[in-house]
Structure formats: C-alpha cells, structure tokens
Structure 1
Amino acid sequence: ATATPVPAAAAGTSTASTSVPSGDVTSNGRTWKQAYAEDFTTNAALGSVLSTYPQLGAYSGYSDTSGRGYYAPDKVLSVSNGNLDFWLHSEDGQPLVATVLPDGYQPHTTGRVSIRYKTTNTDGYKFVGMLWPSSNDWNEGEIDWPEGDLGSTVRPASAIPGTMSNGMMTFDSSIQQHSASTQSSGYHVATTEWDHGAVRFYWDGALVSTTHSAVPTDPMRVTLQAETAIGGEVPTSASGHVDIDWVSIWD
C-alpha cells in the first residue's frame, strides 16, 4: 500500500511509534518510494534469525573492523518482543559481534534509511548504520549514521569519494555534529537521506547536518553493524545489546 506523501519530519520519525512506517515519503522536494520495511514481528531464537528472515544478509566467519571482534550471527542475533537483538558478548575470551544487511545485498544509487533502535551502555562495543559500496571499493565512499560507542551520543560521518590515499579516506569533518541524546536513553529514530548531491542526517526528526561534498555516486548497500569499539579495552565480562525495533528503506 502507498500512503499519502508526508513531510520527512512526520514520516517514520516518532520515537513513540512502534510500527514500521508504511508507504512513500516526500522530503526535500523528492518523493521517496518505499522499497523495504521490516518490523520484526516473528520471534526467532539464537541461530534461527537468518532462516526466519531470509531477506536479511549477514557477515559471518571473520574479524570485524577493529580486528578484535568475530562475526558470529548465529550466536549474537535473535528476535523477540518486536526487536532484532544483537547480544554482544564474549565466549572463551573472544568478543562476538554481528553485521546485518536488512535487504540483503541490494544495491541502491540513492536512498533514505530509517531505523528505530536503542542500545545498552556497554564498554568495548559500538554501533553504526552504514551505506557501503556494493563493489567493496572504499574509494567510492562511505556513509555512517548513526555511529557511536554503546551508550554514547552519535555522530554522522561521510567519506569524500575518490580521496583514497595511503589506505585511508578523507571524511567531511564539518558534518560531525553529535546527537542531542545518547543511544541508551530509550528508543531513537535515525534517518540517513542520501540524495543527488547531498546526504542529510536526522535524529528523531531533527536535521543534524548535511554534506554536499561527501556524496557517493556509485551503488551502495545498507548495513547495520554492532561491533567492537575501535579504541579502548573490550572487557571479556562485557555483555550488551543493540535492539532494532524496525527498519525502513526508500529509493
């Protein structure tokens, strides 16, 4: 079903709403067509999420970004109480983490991505919603929102395409404004709007920042990464959660 287009601030941005947005959205002069929506209404125990939700892709069997965590979706992911839960913990001294691709490896050439989520306040782990090149060529860009250690405020980050040098990308530092609240202060809605010539970042309906220079033009895929933090210790006793209430993607 297609709903009557409504402004971005009113569409899928209420922290009080537990239902996934339905229908298209008009924002910044453009009508975004809903391509994917998941409300996680079917329970799934550890080890059964990927079979219960076949549209979900996941990384598995190798190290995370920091190199300290290990992607183990069957030991991390479950669904209950309407949430996709990432249980971040260690087994035999090894931190276990997960990354999911909500609509599989579907490529997008622009996109509007909203998630309603919350985290615990847990040392050693972080969460980031990301648009990553479908080609895996980092030089094509990277969009991160929300990004932050569990329990912290979050900030956006976006890499300027074509700036790869000595194995690193240049990010638009001007956009890295922090959210007004932390990830662990209850449910929040984070929206990334990757448009032609601009990427916009919203927190609970309020615009956080916009970049016009760090805007990918090649196909990207949506990923939700719960991983070990880049710096600091990862206590083997730490046990925390990221809970995704719903995900919606528009093209």
Structure 2
Amino acid sequence: MGSHAAPNRRPRILFVSFGLLLLAALLVVPRADGAPRPADACRATGTELPRGDCGPFWQVLAEDFNGDDVPLGGFSDCDHRVDTSAAYCGGLSGTYRDNWWAYPTGWRDTANERGRDVVGVYHPEDTVSVGRAENGDGRMRIRMWRPEDGGPVHAAAVVPRAVMQMAYGKYSARIKVTRLAPGYKSAWLHYGGGCEMDHPEGEWTGTITAFHHPCGGGEQGYYPSGDDWTEWHTVSTEWTPGHVRFFVDGRQTGHDTRNVPDRPLSWVLQNESALEGPGAAPGSSAELDVTWVAAYAYGWK
C-alpha cells in the first residue's frame, strides 16, 4: 500500500514541415542511449498548476491551495463512508470538504505489517494543514512527527475525492520535502485486487522512485529516478489501458505493460513511517509540501 498562386506553396510546405518537426521534438526527450523517450502528456514540468485537458486526458481536479487556509485540526472526523467516493472529513468545510478526504485517526500504517521497531498511526488532524508559504504560495503541508515519549509516528494519507474509484487517468503534483529527518517516507499509490502502482515512493532521505506490482503477482517493476526529495519536483503517473508510465519533471522514469490494472482504484497520497533504514527518533519531525495537485480522467476522445 505500502499522463501532435503556386509559387507560394513551396515555402508554406517547408514551414509546416518545420513546425511538425518542432512539435515532434517537444513531445519526446532523448534518452542516454540516444533513442527518444516519451514526454509527460501535459508537459507538466513547471511551477505553475497546469489547467485544461491534454492528449487523451481531461482534467477533473486542479488544486493550487491558494484558497482558504485549513489549520491543524481541520482534517479531523474523517471516519465517514471510508474508502468510497462519498468519504469525507467532518472537520473540513467548503471546497476542501468536497475535494479531500484523509485516512481516519487510528488507522495503522504499513510499518505495522513489517515488524518495524518504529511504526506509525494515521493522525490527519495534527499532521495536515493548508496555508501560505513566506513567498505567498499556497501549500498543503504534511508534517509527520514522533512524540517525545517514543510512541508511534503520526502519519498522514490524504485522498483527492474526484479520482476515488476511477479506472485510468493522469495524476500529477509538485512536491518538496522542506524539513528532513530519518525515518519518514512517502508511497503515493493506487492499489487493490492484487494490483499496485506506487509513485513517488521512497524514504525522504533517499531519492524518488516508482514501483509497479503487476496484478496477480510477478516481479515488481522498479524505476529509480535519482531525484532528491528535498528539491522541487513535478511527479506524474499516466495510467492507460495496458500501460503505466511514471514521470519526474516531464522525464519518463519508468514504463510497464505487465498486468496493468483495469479496475477502478483510488489515488492515495500516503505518507508514513520508514520501511527501510533507521526509524524516526523520538521528538523528530519531517515535512512534505505540496504546491499543486492536478488529476485527469482518461478516454474522452
């Protein structure tokens, strides 16, 4: 658990041909071996929230967190119609209540199943908030922490309601770990029915990686990007029939066709205690900031 009079005709033809070549160049980026590598369908690489449809994807969520603030405590009372598209957090209001849900307080994170010395428990009420950075940028802040007494890590998993229980689509966000400490990780994922796609995943002290666990079993697909969590990156997953592709800053880092899910799954922005390396120290904390989230349905053409 854990994304194109006759003497005047010749120049016009040359111009169109050049335009097509330029478009082709924009749609691919070179691999190290010189072969072209597919680019993110929306070319979502910059700091600004992408808006509008692109390729075979139509946008169903565009969130830049520049609206109302949500202080700590807002993501509370989330135990309503859980794991369905009707799930909600009673502590939220307005568009945030309409658009977001979180794993309820008390649910246990993945480390509990792995026999780790340090495990986590989901506490959205004291880990998730929305507000402005010093530069005025709206952000969702996910600050996980471990109590001074050495209890479980307070973890957080938030879920965009617009794409709960949806088959296929494109899922993008711009993220950065702004406070680093050992013992904390992310595994943003789609999973269910023996299928799992994870991106971005990894301990925050390492680098961003993607994984694909084919439906029904088989060797996992492992796609390291080499990109550091502590820098701003745009991460995207494009899930279409028979294909899953992973991107960092518009660069394809992985592609798999083996038993790709064909059933509706939810996108879970899961953040939890580490599964590798040292556990979080008592009294420590770490933070992931999300400056925008965009999600798209597939197959409108």
How high is the TM-score relative to the length of structure 2? Answer: 0.71
Q: Distance in 2 between matches of 1:194 and 1:156?
A: 13
Q: Percent identity?
A: 29
Gaps of 5+ in 1: 1-5, 164-169
Q: Offset of 1:12 from its aligned partner?
A: 5.6
**Partner residue, 1:93:** 150
Letter in 1 for 2:150: G
Gaps of 5+ in 2: 1-25, 28-38, 76-88, 113-118, 133-137
Instruction: Determine whether 1:122 maps to 2:168.
Output: no
Instruction: Determine whether 1:162 maps to 2:216.
Output: yes
Q: Which has the higher helix share?
A: 2
Contact 2:103-2:122 at 8 Å conserved across structures: yes
1:38-187 alignment, distance < 5 Å: 38-41=63-66, 42-49=68-75, 50=89, 51-52=92-93, 53-54=96-97, 55-60=99-104, 61-67=106-112, 68-81=119-132, 82-91=138-147, 92-94=149-151, 95-103=153-161, 106-119=164-177, 120-133=179-192, 137=193, 139=194, 141-163=195-217, 170-173=218-221, 176-184=222-230, 186-187=231-232
Letter in 2 for 1:88: M
Secondary structure of the corresponding residue to residue 21 of structure 1: coil
Contact 2:64-2:293 at 8 Å conserved across structures: yes
Task: Show CA shifts across 1:83-109 (max 9, x none).
Answer: 111111123433101101012672111
Instruction: Determine whether 1:20 maps to 2:65.
Output: no
**Partner residue, 1:245:** 291
Task: Show CA shifts across 1:145-181 (max 9, x none).
Answer: 0101113211111111122xxxxxx3433xx231132
Q: Distance in 2 between matches of 1:236 and 1:208?
A: 35
Task: Show CA shifts across 1:90-139 (max 9, x none).
Answer: 23433101101012672111010001001133200101211123xxx3x1
Letter in 2 for 1:125: Y
Q: Distance in 1 between matches of 2:54 and 2:205?
A: 30
Contact 2:205-2:229 at 8 Å conserved across structures: yes
Q: Offset of 1:214 from its aligned partner?
A: 4.2
Letter in 2 for 1:172: Q
Q: Distance in 1 between matches of 2:125 and 2:235?
A: 26
Q: Distance in 1 between matches of 2:162 and 2:296?
A: 14
Secondary structure of the corresponding residue to residue 180 of structure 1: strand
Secondary structure of the corresponding residue to residue 132 of structure 1: strand
Q: Offset of 1:36 from its aligned partner?
A: 1.4
Q: Distance in 2 between matches of 1:205 and 1:218?
A: 26
Contact 2:141-2:288 at 8 Å conserved across structures: yes
Contact 2:131-2:140 at 8 Å conserved across structures: yes
Q: Distance in 1 between matches of 2:295 and 2:198?
A: 15
Task: Show CA shifts across 1:181-236 (max 9, x none).
Answer: 2011x210000001111100000000111000041111110110110011332211
Q: Distance in 1 between matches of 2:243 and 2:65?
A: 31
Q: Distance in 1 between matches of 2:245 and 2:163?
A: 22
Count of aligned positions: 226
Contact 2:130-2:141 at 8 Å conserved across structures: yes
**Partner residue, 1:207:** 252
